[in-house]
């Protein structure tokens, strides 16, 4: 059975709240669908620049809509998204994504660590309106994610290395090469073919394409009602 599992690659950046929604849904479906979920931390700034896309903050009507949209989606998906008090002042995520990349690189095969660190960073910025740029902030996220305190300093040093900078750049370029223009960017590998999906509102179609069943944003609750 393991040999027939469908690989799904999730490209994301914690700067994007919509990527958090996609992240949580795919994590919930790991044991519902027959999939091998692979996290691909990348840099949203590089995607926007490389694809020629514009930030919602540069399109006034889109920016106004985004706040209302996220409030509704937070309830629907059961993800504690709370928009920062001053979204326009949110700083970049480059340091955070290098840190996540360092975790992925140093703890290969331990996807749970990448998952937990990513989630804690999303919670800092999109639930707590907290910083994700300073080493102390990254360290706190790592501790809450369950990383050993004696390893976090090593991870912070690794995150600033040329190796990790190049790895993050390479993953971002891979997403661009696969057609990315924003996050979440999802690649499903099915029967030797790649199916690309953008956003957190394509899961019903995704399920159809990979031969699985969509049970809503919280499949465990749906199953309990059946």
Whole-angstrom distance, CA of residue 170 vs CA of residue 157: 19
Nearest one of 13, 18, 11 to 40, comparing CA atoms? 11
- Tokens linked to 160: 């600033």
Domain count for the chain, please give it. 1
The structure tokens 């993050």 sit at 168
Q: Which domain holds residue 67?
A: 2-225
- Tokens linked to 67: 């706040």
Residue segments in the chain with a per-residue pLDDT below the cut of 70: 1-3, 87-90, 108-109, 222-226
pTM for this structure?
A: 0.93
Which residues, in sequence order, are bridge partners of residue 10? Answer: 39, 186
Q: How many CB atoms lie within 10 A of CB 99?
A: 31
Question: Model confidence over 43-97: pLDDT tens digits?
Answer: 999 999 999 998 877 788 888 898 899 999 999 999 999 988 776 556 789 999 9
Q: Domain with 123 in it: what CATH number?
A: 3.40.30.10
Instruction: State phi, psi for 89 to the nearest 5 degrees.
Output: -95, 0
């Amino acid at each position: 059975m393991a040999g027939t599992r469908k690989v799904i690659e999730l490209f994301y950046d914690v700067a994007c709240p919509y990527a958090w929604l996609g992240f949580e849904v795919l994590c919930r479906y790991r044991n519902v669908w027959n999939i091998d979920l692979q996290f691909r931390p990348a840099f949203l700034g590089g995607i926007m620049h490389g694809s020629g896309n514009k930030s919602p903050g540069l399109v006034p009507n889109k920016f106004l809509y985004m706040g209302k949209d996220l409030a509704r989606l937070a309830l629907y998906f059961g993800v504690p998204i709370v928009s920062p008090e001053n979204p326009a002042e949110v700083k970049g995520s480059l340091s955070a994504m290098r840190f996540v990349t360092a975790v992925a690189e140093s703890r290969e095969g331990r996807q749970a660590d990448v998952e937990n660190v990513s989630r804690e960073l999303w919670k800092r910025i999109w639930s707590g309106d907290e910083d994700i740029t300073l080493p102390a902030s990254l360290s706190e996220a790592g501790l809450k994610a369950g990383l050993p305190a004696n390893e976090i300093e090593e991870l912070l040093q690794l995150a600033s290395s040329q190796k990790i900078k190049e790895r993050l750049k390479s993953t971002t370029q891979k997403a661009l090469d696969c057609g990315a223009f924003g996050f979440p960017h999802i690649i499903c590998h099915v029967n030797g073919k790649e199916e690309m999906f953008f956003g957190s509102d394509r899961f019903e179609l995704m399920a159809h394409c990979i031969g699985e069943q969509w049970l809503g944003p919280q499949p465990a609750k749906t199953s309990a009602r059946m």
